[in-house]
Structure formats: C-alpha cells, structure tokens
A and B are shown apart, each in its own frame.
Chain A
Amino acid sequence: MPMKPEIKPGLAVISRMGRDKNRVFVVLYEVDADFVMVADGQGRTLARPKRKRRKHLMATGREFPDIAEKNRNGNLTDHDLRMALASMQNPPQDPA
C-alpha cells in the first residue's frame, strides 16, 4: 500500500494552491495538524515565512535534514535555503 509522505521540517515541497502555486519551498516547522511554515530564502524569507495547509503541499522526495537542524539551532540563513533549493535539478512542475 503506497503512502503519502509526511510533510515535516526539512522537506522540500511544492505549493499546489494559491498565488505561490508551483513554487518550491522548504518546510521550516509544523504549526499544528493542518498547517506548516515554509520559506524559500527569496520570495519567502526566514523573516517572512508562509503558513501553508499541509494538504496544499506536495512532497518532492527531497529532504534537507541539515536545514531542519540549523533551523532548530537558530542559525539557518536565507542563503542556506536558496542553496538547498538550487541543488534540486528537476522539481516536479504542474504541466497545466
């Protein structure tokens, strides 16, 4: 039985709803059962992360545990986020 990947800190996700549809973010932390906070280091920086519904995010399969760790330790930077997301060769895109 296939599983739906857990939306968790450090996971690269794609927005499926809203004005940021198709943009790739990294999950920073979980707010509650329904929401997480995401950022990408440029349009959505650490100073202004975006609150997104889990069901409006698709897991990409790429995890950045070092990003999650740095965020927990309080020394994550927007540069770290940009570099992590730039390392993804082919984030899945919505062909529509």
Chain B
Amino acid sequence: MISIKNPAQLEKMRKAGHLLYEVMQKLQEVVRPGESTAAIDAYAEELIRRNHAVPSFLGYRGFPASICASVDDEVVHGIPSEGVTLREGSILSIDCGLILDGWQADSAFTVPVGEISDSLRRLIELTRQCFFEGARAAVTGNRVGDIGHAVQTLAEGRGFGVIRDLTGHGIGRNMHEDPSVPNFGDPGTGARLRPGMTLAVEPMISLGGWHVRQMDDGWTIKTLDGSPCAHYEHTIAIMPEGLPEILTLPGFVWE
C-alpha cells in the first residue's frame, strides 16, 4: 500500500534529506586515487552519527556497511572494503541512506576517480540527466510508468543500457515502500502519482547492455557484459501542483 505523507511528515523527510545532502557533499570530497572504499564508508558513518542520525543501510537485510561503494562495472550494492583501493580512471558510485527522527532519505551519485575517459564522463552526465528527466514526469496525475518511460527514452535514445533488475521505490519510515519505480516501462501505466507520495528515483545506466549478475558475496551486482555503470538518485516528494520537490537536493529550483 502506498503511503501519503502529511505536511509534518514531509518536513521531517525534508530535514533527513538535507542532512543526507550534506553528508554526500562531504563524501564526494574524499574520492581520490589511493583511497579505500572502507575509509569512505567509515567517514560516512561518522558524519551521519555525528548529526544524531542513523545509517539506514547498515544491517539492512544484513548489509554490512553504511554506504554502497560500486566501482566501474559494479552497478550497485558494492560492499566497502579495505582491499578495494580506488584507481585513477575509474568511476565510483556511492549510495547512502540515513534515518533522522524516524524518517528516511536515500541518495546516490557516480563520480570520477581522477581523470577519466570522455565516454565515462558522458555516462555519468547522461545518468544524472536521466534522473531529472524521470523526475520531471513525477507530477500529480501522472503514473509511475511515466517516470520509467522518460528515463528509458532518454537513455536508450542515446545508445545506453537501462538496468532493469533493480528499481527505485517508495520511501518514508521504511527504506523500501510501495510503489516500485522501474527505470523503464510504458507511459500511463502503474500507480497514479498523488501529492504526498515520496519516491526514490534512481536510474542505473550502463555503457553497454542491461543484463546483470549477482556476485558470490550475495550483494554486489555487476553488468553481465562488463560495461561500466553509473547511478544517480534522489528522494523526491510529489507536489499538489508542478514539479516534485527534491528532498535530497536542498535549494534546487526547476528551470
């Protein structure tokens, strides 16, 4: 069942989103060649707890860290490790969530590690654009399928692959709530979007195909063809009128 948040609840999610934005900004600053993903994870946990919040990923269904750190062809759910040291020319996707005063926020981005190729730069930028294209479709009266259709049309129109096995989701008191928000689909299908719905829209886009495989650690998802993959995510709130509020991007104004 899809939950509708009232203004007081949305305000709490707004505060959680603003805090997560601050955390993500700081995490971005420590991504550099030679850094381990475990160090970034430890820093994330420290930042979250210092601000009286709780890392939502840690222990979620057994996940062992506060962030997902996914490198190159790792789509999502990469487990931070002392043994994973970032290399020049790679791309790193960081996915992070927190709970503040009982309400969740979820966000992700992909960033270069040092200097990267033009194709990787285009992948990162296109994935970010896919989020905003999908979010533009997230208006009262539209349906969940309109979001995925917008993402898919943009990505596949430019020759990129849209990951299908994992989706965005509703979010609120729980990390994963109804509805599922795929990054593909037919327009005019799925649940109707209503004011007060809060969604995590998160395109995962590859330079090649969309098939994935799960690694033996039970978490890490990689592209089957080894193509690099980027991820971009924000928590959004459907508004009574107009475009959604992006809760994890405070101060953002739609053009």
Contact = CB atoms under 8 A, between A and B. Distances in A.
A24 interface: no
Interface of A: 1-6, 58-63, 88-90, 92, 94-96
Contact of A62 (B60, B77, B175, B189): B189
A92 B184 CA distance: 8
Interface of B: 56-57, 60, 63, 68, 76-77, 95, 97, 106, 144-145, 148, 164-169, 175-176, 180, 182, 184-186, 189-190, 202, 204, 209-211, 231, 233
A63 B51 CA distance: 40
B182 A4 contact: no
A2 B185 contact: no
A78 B58 CA distance: 45
Contacts of A92: 164, 184, 210
A42 B144 CA distance: 29
A6 B167 CA distance: 11
A62 B76 contact: no
Contact of A2 (B63, B76, B210): B76
B180 A1 contact: no
The 7 closest A-B pairs by CB, nearest first: A61-B182, A2-B166, A5-B180, A61-B185, A3-B176, A89-B186, A3-B169
Judged by DSSP, the binding face of B is: loop
Given A59-B180, A61-B185, A4 B166 contact: yes
B169 A2 contact: yes
Given A59-B180, A61-B145, A92-B164, A2 B186 contact: no
A43 to B, nearest CB: 22
Given A2-B76, A2-B169, A58 B175 contact: no
A63 B182 CA distance: 12
24 contacts: A1-B56, A1-B63, A1-B76, A1-B77, A1-B176, A4-B167, A5-B180, A61-B145, A61-B148, A61-B164, A61-B180, A61-B182, A61-B184, A61-B185, A61-B190, A62-B145, A62-B185, A62-B190, A63-B190, A89-B186, A92-B164, A92-B210, A96-B209, A96-B211
Contacts of B210: 92
Given A1-B63, A5-B182, A94-B211, 13 more contacts: A1-B60, A1-B95, A1-B97, A1-B106, A2-B168, A3-B166, A3-B167, A5-B180, A61-B185, A61-B190, A92-B210, A96-B209, A96-B211
Nearest to B231: A2
A58 B56 CA distance: 26
B175 A1 contact: yes
A68 B54 CA distance: 38
Contact of B165 (A6, A58, A96): A58
B242 to A, nearest CB: 25
Contacts of B165: 4, 58
A88 B176 CA distance: 26
